[in-house]
Amino acid sequence: MDASKVDRYVSTKWDDEIVPQLVEYIRIPNKSPMFDADWLAHGYMDAAVKLMETWAKAQPIPGMQLEVVRLEGRTPLICIEIPASNGGSDEDCVLLYGHLDKQPEMTGWDDDLGPWKPVIKGDKLYGRGGADDGYAIFGSLAAILALQEQKVPHARCVVLIEACEESGSYDLPAYVDHLADRIGKPSLVVCLDSGCGNYEQLWCTTSLRGLAGGNLTVKVLNEGVHSGDASGIVPSSFRLLRQLLSRIEDENSGRILLEGLHVEVPAERLVQAKKSAEVLDTAIYDKFPFLPGMTPMADDLTELVLNRTWRPALSVTGADGMPALSSAGNVLRPHTSVKLSLRLPPTMDGKRAGELLKQALEHDPPNGAQVTLELEKASTGWNAPAMAPWLEKAIDASSREFFGQPAMYMGEGGTIPFMGMLGEKFPGAQFMITGVLGPHSNAHGPNEFLHIPMGKRVTACVARVIAEHHAASQRGETTGVAVVAGGEQHGDHGCC
């Protein structure tokens, strides 16, 4: 494979086709089902699928078959099958994964930007979903096209683009089972849905946190009453909610108090966290839009890396039962509700975590209040198995070729449920996860952007890894191996 030719091909493909397609994709408000219950009636998801389907079918890939699979009652899934080329094996399989659904709008966008308003400023394409994860289908096919342009051998490829990832991928298992015969047993999986520590080198994700969360509601009255009359007699639902949250989180340090939600961090991950801290330095927290005078939760940089990758952490991401400040009268409110997002260590069982969280919050309610936690998510994270030598060499070679720097390895704080699913279905598989969500890209938040040069280089790196996968397969080194390269830290990327 001629790296310089791949670089030129991919760059031109991005400039001439992929960026214009992403501009149109960003305009579509195809929010994930959790954030748009009427997604089917609104038709935005179908519009996004149609845009990608039309572009993909126009690509000159011999023998490619594309189907939009629609199981009853589920979001659609794009399945693309590409036969082996130039002497590659049809018995082997490269699985490439991404998603096309989006997070909701979020407030706080700059005046000249917006979630459904694509804007290009320099090397950045602003708008919701371009980096998380609209580019995945375009990058996947561009990588394959770059190889075929040089007649470089590659194995059979299957591309899966789902439309439910930001809601926890609850539709995906049904599709993976439905398509099991067509997918086969991949020895390389490229998942374009993770992040990067900087834009100067290829970053591979070694672990992903799980996620448990839902809506916590505290009810104390049937209706609101005069606060002057009731305060001091009727407990405030907000105060009781604070009490409950103190059962699971130390409000001073942010440490999760439920010991059952903590795990021992593997020695290899401790070493990788320290190395990442050395390379990134204060960029670990400089990438966040801190207000003047604000400081991160720890001084030790390695501890900060571990906090966002291997330790549980709680976020309150929404509230209900509270009127806007402009219309808030002197009323003791009947209830308070908050949405909890509890990130879990990669090896913590998501279902068990949800049970522990629900038990801690609902048992023995203070003052006899009505307390309920409606769990929406209970997803297990993922921890990569030891990396095969051929893959480690391929990843590092691709980073040096297209970035001029060695590859780096670090866990991510978001969740990609597909990874855990693959780990169960292909226990001998390996995983490489990479992506384009780097400093200030702000996935899920305001002013989200795609760093276009990063997208080009990640695409080129994927091409190199797919090529090396064939070479390793010829040497008999890929049996039972799978690779993942990704763009969500939802999130909060991630995934979801």
Whole-number Å distance between alpha carbons of 395 and 6: 16
Whole-number Å distance between alpha carbons of 123 and 22: 14
Q: What is the DSSP string of 302-320?
A: HHHHHHHHTS-EEEEEEEE
All structural domains of the chain = 3-208+381-494 (3.40.630.10), 212-288+308-379 (3.30.70.360)
E strand intervals along 163-312? 188-192, 203-208, 210-219, 225-226
Whole-number Å distance between alpha carbons of 479 and 217: 50
Q: Which two tokens stand for residue 251?
A: 């409000």
Among candidate residues 194, 13, 173, the one with its CA nearest the CA of residue 98: 194
- Beta-bridge mates of residue 314: 342
Q: Which two tokens stand for residue 425?
A: 């279905």
Among candidate residues 102, 215, 106, the one with its CA nearest the CA of residue 167: 102
Q: Are 204 and 399 a contacting pair, CB within 8 Å?
A: no
Among candidate residues 154, 213, 197, 185, the one with its CA nearest the CA of residue 358: 213
Q: What is the pLDDT along the chain (496 residues), one digit of tens a residue?
A: 999 999 999 999 999 999 999 999 999 999 999 999 999 999 999 999 999 999 999 999 999 999 999 999 999 999 999 999 999 999 989 999 999 999 999 999 999 999 999 999 999 999 999 999 999 999 999 999 999 999 999 999 999 999 999 998 899 999 999 999 999 889 888 889 999 999 999 999 999 999 999 999 999 999 999 999 999 999 999 999 999 999 999 999 999 999 999 999 999 999 999 999 999 999 999 999 999 999 999 999 999 999 999 999 999 999 999 999 999 999 999 999 999 999 999 999 999 999 999 999 999 999 999 999 999 988 899 998 888 999 999 999 999 999 999 999 999 998 887 787 877 777 767 777 889 999 999 999 999 999 999 999 999 999 999 999 999 999 988 864 444 544 444 344 444 5
C-alpha distances in angstroms, 91 versus 24, 29, 113, 158, 468?
37, 39, 47, 12, 17
Q: Which two tokens stand for residue 370?
A: 């009505």
Q: Are 421 and 386 a contacting pair, CB within 8 Å?
A: no
Eight-state DSSP code of residue 167: G
Q: Residue count of the chain, please give it.
A: 496
Whole-number Å distance between alpha carbons of 461 and 391: 12
Pure H helices in 103-167: 135-149
Whole-number Å distance between alpha carbons of 327 and 318: 19
Whole-number Å distance between alpha carbons of 36 and 75: 12
